[in-house]
Chains A and B, each alone.
Chain A
């Protein structure tokens, strides 16, 4: 597969700092290889900007192989760009046409304040995790296979939920900036497995309370999160979290006071 070279214009959100006013700036890029990833295209743009003595565009990135969840930007009106099940780092320039005008924006949500350019503070996700997204005791090293019998569909559901990389695309794409898909994936993958079940009632209550305190919106089940999630996290996790939450709130354990 031979590379093609395309000329594009990118319109990028530039904001010098968290309290500064931001605005869009448009840049022209010539001879961009279609084999480049979207982030490599931004690297080329930054080299160009540095040569011109301008401030490069700040954006989050780490592994560049689609598993760390660092990258994330709104590309042409879609979270992580137009390709489904793909993070921005795995999006390639062959997805775009020669001469295309590409609008690049940071995640927009009250709970994800912009720090600089395309970088947002996703600390809200960390605080939700810290509120209960863990198992409190050391459950030892990985048990021998089939030592703890777990039905295959359950382990599949747990594994699918655990695939969440916490990139925030669900919040970014949701018309309500709701974090339900992220939180429900974390709640689900722990609530489905025996090690996590002991604390599942307290966990879901604490994580939902923290999610609300962070200022995310309220889910209205449009399904945009599932459609834009680079890991294909299913809406059924939200149903499971709703069920976990309602049963934790509406029932009492025998030793509850």
Chain B
């Protein structure tokens, strides 16, 4: 059989999904690194360890390179996500009058673009609060990162916003992890598929919960509850 039809990988539907999957899994791994650093905030040393870690992150060239990679991953994931959402909406120009999506799929698998958009808003605010204000632009000289973090999270509303964003992240990961692995073609065996789904659910619960724990701890500590 001659090859009658073929298109470059990344312009094919599977290629587009591949880009989503690879960047999505990469960003999930990034979460682990970010979380490890955050957990230093729980050390009862007035922020010495965390500030040392922040200084290291600021001065290490390999970290700069990986930050650029993470940034590129976010940009590709977001742009491709928006493109796919638009393309998929175009694939059904006329919708159904009655459509029971809940009968055949989970709501968080159907609302990835919604959770993704909320996470993008969170990401912009989050980057501004810490990365831009204190690391890149140094808008408040004299305030170390630990103090800035404690100040931010002693605000009930800021912490609440963070926790809500982590709940949204949980739903995004609950579908995202298993979806990415499916796109890579690693879920042929039903037992493997179930195992990966469970790993995805575990990650989706544990990672955002660990992230949310830190601001909640700071909030309660500054309110004198601990």
Contact = CB atoms under 8 A, between A and B. Distances in A.
DSSP class of B's interface residues: helix, strand, loop or mixed?
Answer: loop
Interface string B9-24: 1001111111000000
Contact of A208 (B14, B91, B106): B14
Contact of A136 (B1, B7, B179): B1
Contact of B84 (A74, A216, A218): A218
B84 A234 contact: no
B13 A219 contact: yes
A156 B196 CA distance: 23
B94 interface: yes
Contacts of B160: none
B6 interface: yes
Contacts of A221: 109, 175, 178-179, 182-183
Given A202-B1, A206-B4, A212-B12, A177 B185 contact: no
B100 A77 contact: yes
B5 interface: yes
Interface in A24-64: 24
A255 to B, nearest CB: 13
Interface in B95-138: 95-101, 103-106, 109-110, 112
A222 interface: yes
A217 B92 contact: yes
Contacts of A243: 184-186, 188
A250 B179 CA distance: 21
A224 interface: yes
Contacts of A227: 103-105
Contact of A206 (B6, B88, B189): B6
Contacts, number: 172
Interface residues of B, number: 50
Contacts of B84: 218, 220
Given A109-B92, A242-B184, A218 B104 contact: no
A246 B14 contact: yes
B224 interface: no
A16 interface: no
Given A239-B185, A242-B184, A205 B3 contact: yes
A244 to B, nearest CB: 8
A241 B93 CA distance: 27
B98 A210 contact: no
B139 interface: no
B90 interface: yes
A224 B101 contact: yes
Given A202-B3, A239-B188, A105 B14 contact: no
Given A110-B91, A221-B109, A246-B14, A236 B189 contact: yes
- Which of B2, B18, B104, B112 has the most CB atoms of chain A within a 10 A radius of its CB? B104
B13 A218 contact: yes
Nearest to B7: A209
Contacts of B15: 249
B187 A239 contact: yes
- Which of B13, B18, B88, B185 has the most CB atoms of chain A within a 10 A radius of its CB? B13
A76 B6 contact: no
Contacts of B14: 208, 241-242, 245-246
Contacts of A246: 14, 18, 184-185
Interface of A: 11, 13, 24, 74, 76-78, 82, 103, 105, 108-111, 131-132, 136, 173, 175-178, 180, 199, 202-203, 205-206, 208-213, 215-224, 227-228, 234-236, 238-246, 249-250
Given A11-B97, A212-B12, 12 more contacts: A82-B103, A109-B91, A178-B91, A202-B1, A202-B2, A208-B12, A212-B13, A222-B105, A223-B104, A223-B106, A246-B18, A246-B184
23 contacts: A76-B100, A103-B98, A109-B92, A111-B91, A175-B92, A177-B88, A177-B92, A205-B6, A209-B12, A213-B5, A217-B92, A218-B84, A220-B84, A220-B88, A222-B175, A223-B104, A223-B109, A224-B101, A227-B103, A238-B182, A242-B184, A242-B185, A244-B185
